[in-house]
Amino acid sequence: MSSRTVVLVPKHRMLRRTLYGLLLAAPLLPGGLACGGEEVGFVCEPDYSALNLGPIAVQADGGFPRPCGLCPPHPDGVSNWGCSTAGTADGGADLICHYQSCFGDGRRPEGLREAAVLDSGSELGALFAKAAWLEAASVPAFLRLAEELQTHGAPEELVKAARRSAGDEVRHTRAMQALARRHGADMPEVDLPPFEPRSLEEMLRENAVEGCVRETFGAFVAGWQGRTARDPEVRSTLRAIARDELRHAELAWAVDAWAQEHLSAAQREGLRQSRREALRILGEEVDGHHPPEPLIHDAGLPSLAQAQALFQGLAAVGLQA
């Protein structure tokens, strides 16, 4: 039996039923009309991909800096992914801040420092470069989870599943890097401080937020992209990634289930509260989701209405646990 067919953690049947139901209904979820009036299954969301902040100072060598730190948070909560400059008629330059929604966050490790994707002139390139960065950051997150599970006496199946997930994320990083390079973008470096020891409760709280909520939603979005992306290479890549991400989500829920026997009633309630708060925050981010049209069309990102439907599916799973 190959390693790709080994089942290390039980399937989360409610999670799978919810996800498969949403994906089967993909063509039926709210889509609206395209800009040209032809019904194609996605909406013309407002394009929040760029914001011109006006003139910036010229450097001594005649070049222009890229002070991405000057870019403010977008009022609708859309992620800031970097900046570029645009020449003006008087020889100066304007600072352009780039904003794009980012779903499929995966398991962000504690202390991960945000990175800006250098401007490639391509929204798709920026999307895939940031996705590759997030996949790369998930590798140490899973290795840490495996080590901590072993330290806290978790079943060997959970430890092995966490290590296997780290290997999955290495493959995902390479796949997303390939898509990014195809569109002229490079993955930024992962800047992560050394991990410090933490308690079982702290580990489980991160698992509840990053695994049961964000990673599970990432699996939903990857599944959606693998079904709806018009670019065949993107669709094929995300379909393979989505299968792994679903197993990663199931690992998070399996860790959560194992934890119930090792925590007090107050600690268990604390975990539920952490999960509910993470759902609330993610719901606000979803409501501010306004992806540019190319990301809906070619990359398969869900539109606002579709993302809200996916989130409602996640909430149904998360709130009943």
DSSP 262-281: GS-HHHHHHHHHHHHHHHHH
Q: Which residues of 182-194 are buried (b: 16+ CB within 10 A; e: fewer)?
A: ebebebbebebee
| Amino acid symbol at 123 | E
Residue 271's contacts (CB-CB under 8 Å, 6 or more residues apart) are 204, 205, 208, 256, 259, 263
Residue 214's pLDDT is what? Answer: 94
Residue 215's pLDDT is what? Answer: 94
Q: Give the H or E element holding residue 295.
A: helix 293-297
Q: Mean pLDDT in each 10-residue stretch from start to end of the chain (321 residues)?
A: 61 90 72 32 36 68 58 54 63 66 68 74 87 95 97 96 97 96 92 92 95 95 94 94 95 94 92 93 88 89 92 85 64
CA nearest neighbour of 227 among 207, 213, 242, 245? 242
Residue 54's pLDDT is what? Answer: 74
| CA angle centred on 103, ends 101 and 109, rounded to 5° | 115
Question: What pTM value is reported for the model?
Answer: 0.77
**What residue segments make up the domains of the chain, in order of their start?**
3-30+102-320, 50-99
Q: How many residues does the chain have?
A: 321
Residue 189's contacts (CB-CB under 8 Å, 6 or more residues apart) are 115
| CA angle centred on 176, ends 126 and 99, rounded to 5° | 20
Lookup: tokens for 73: 């948070």
CATH number of 3-30+102-320: 1.20.1260
